[in-house]
Amino acid sequence: MIKSPPRYACHSRFFVGILTTSIALLALSGCNSVTPSVNNQTIQQPNAAVTPAVQTVVGDYASDGYAKRAQGYDWVGVMIRADGADNGEQIDIKVRARGDVKKPTCHFDGKATLMGQDEAHGVIFQTKVNDSTAFFQFKDDALTIDSQDKYALNYFCSGGASFVGEYQKLEGDLALN
């Protein structure tokens, strides 16, 4: 007569298999950082608190020609985002020109740090560009870009152009085409 193994031996092999699989899955997934999502849309986690001055200037700005882009007018757009670095007092700046009809005339990527704010001047950020200081002044839904050296910002545009000038804040996102 052949003796069968005790009944608990089959159960213990089952539990050992489950336990081994669980440990392996936990080990494999434990090192991954998970980005939370809602309805399949990624939620951006802030790196640091952003100052109220940065919050007020975040948005997209455009030159006068942007409103007439359908008629072929040339335009320059400026995208301002919170950077989260430097105690929440830094912005990320992207300057882009129309690129749908011809080669874009201006392209600049940079960061600027809060210089100060008051009622008379609005909110002013500054950054070093080509051995000069560039200023980004935000007041009354307008952005004015200027520099100590007027030619320092020409480097980022073709044909002798510069992105020094005034830009109006847009209600929505800048359409790059």
> pTM of the full predicted structure?
0.69
Q: What is the pLDDT of residues 65-111, one digit of tens each?
A: 899 888 888 889 999 999 877 677 899 999 998 765 666 678 999 99
Q: Which residues does residue 15 pair with via DSSP β-bridges, in sequence order?
A: none
Q: Is the pLDDT confidence value at 146 over 70?
A: yes
The mean pLDDT of 48-68, rounded to a whole number, is 89
Q: Is the pLDDT confidence value at 57 over 90?
A: yes
3-17, 43-57, 87-101, range with the lowest pLDDT: 3-17
The mean pLDDT of 48-72, rounded to a whole number, is 88
- Average pLDDT value for the chain: 78
SS (H, E, C) 48-98: CCCCHHHHHHCEEEECHHHHHHHHCCCCEEEEEEECCCHHHCEEEEEEEEC
7-21, 119-133, 137-151, 153-167, range with the lowest pLDDT: 7-21
Structure tokens at 130: 């080509």
Backbone region of residue 169 per phi and psi (left: phi > 0; alpha: psi in -120 to 50; beta: other values): beta
Q: How high is the pLDDT of residue 139?
A: 97
Q: What angle do CA 55, 59, 60 make, to 5 degrees?
A: 160
The amino acid at residue 88 is G
Q: pLDDT grade, residue 159 (50/70/90)? A: confident
**Between these two residues, 136 and 27, which has the higher pLDDT value?**
136
Q: Is the pLDDT confidence value at 42 over 50?
A: no
Q: How high is the pLDDT of residue 30?
A: 44
Non-local (6+) Cβ contacts of 46 within 8 A are 82, 84
The amino acid at residue 119 is E
